[in-house]
Amino acid sequence: MELLDGNKTSKEIKLEIAEVVSKRKADGKKIPHLAAVLVGSNGASMTYVGAKVKACEEVGFKSTLLQLEENISEQELISKIIGLNNDPDIDGYIVQLPLPKHIDEHKILLAIDPRKDVDGFHPENVGRMALNLPCFLPATPGGIIELLKRYKVQTESKHAVVIGRSHIVGLPMTILLQRNAYPGNCTVTLTHSKTKNLEAICAEAEIIIAALGRPEFVTAAMVKEGAVVVDVGITRVPDPSKKSGFRLAGDVKFDEVAPKCSFITPVPGGVGPMTIVSLLNNTLQAVQ
């Protein structure tokens, strides 16, 4: 069993990006500028955005945090987004999800300029991804693909099972894993809450992408010997033995699944750091 170490790999990629930024600076070229829009004060969202801003500093990007009140109107938020679309100094930006319930996320995503959509959520980028055209890949799936590539995980002709059909992870992963490229060329099965015989389907998989947000859902009985398991989930689980009162758990029951795997991602330290460097790569692509 080998760990797909997102912490280690993301540090290597950050060094590569920092080198490119340093050269751009020396050549008098524009320094990449990433902006983040945060609505309200959701604790998890603030943590995620803080990590992204810190990552920008580490690689030499400029960053801007636009923190807005929880009760901002949908139209006011769209106006802020149009301002970012028209700001030539901003190369890419993200609107941190989830948004307050009174705001329609689809309307907000449609308002984002696809050329600055470094989260890769705009329908134009999703469509280009489906057609295997140049685009911004969604950050988490893009990070997973890069992790598989860096560890030289064989994907061609493999049966991959994706658990979860979200537009952020599950659906894009099915597109990327089946495309005629490396990593790719898999036969992909997409499963979800209405799938029958899920355990049996997973047990036949050579690659499992678990992205359903249910802690320790994937058990050893669902994993065949030698499988590659990528755990996208991260949930706070109450744990009185911890000072914080909780521990972080993935969608995979790591201790019992790991011994059966050829490769597996840890939680934390697997997919999360790769999501952030994927965002940085997209921003670099935007300025280039």
We report the CATH number of the domain holding residue 227 as 3.40.50.720
Whether residue 154 lies in the annotated active site? no
Q: Is residue 196 part of a domain?
A: yes
- pLDDT tens, position by position, 44-85: 788 888 889 899 999 999 999 999 999 999 999 999 999 999
Whether residue 119 lies in the annotated active site? yes
Tell me what pLDDT residue 74 has. Answer: 96
Q: Which range marks the domain in which residue 93 is found?
A: 27-120
Tell me what pLDDT residue 247 has. Answer: 85
* Segments of the chain with pLDDT less than 70: none
Are residues 194 and 266 part of one domain?
yes
Are residues 204 and 167 part of one domain?
yes
- pLDDT tens, position by position, 130-152: 999 999 999 999 999 999 999 99
Are residues 152 and 110 part of one domain?
no
Q: Catalytic pick from 5, 14, 96, 117?
A: 96
Q: Catalytic pick from 14, 52, 116, 253?
A: 52
Are residues 182 and 267 part of one domain?
yes
Tell me what pLDDT residue 120 has. Answer: 96
Q: Catalytic pick from 5, 91, 117, 119?
A: 119
Q: Is residue 280 part of a domain?
A: no
User: pLDDT > 70: what percent of the chain?
Assistant: 100
Q: Number of folded domains in the chain?
A: 2
Are residues 150 and 236 part of one domain?
yes
Are residues 210 and 110 part of one domain?
no
Distance of CA 147 to the CA centre of its chain: 11
Whether residue 253 lies in the annotated active site? no
We report the CATH number of the domain holding residue 71 as 3.40.50.10860
Q: Is residue 56 part of a domain?
A: yes
Q: Is residue 20 part of a domain?
A: no
Are residues 113 and 157 part of one domain?
no
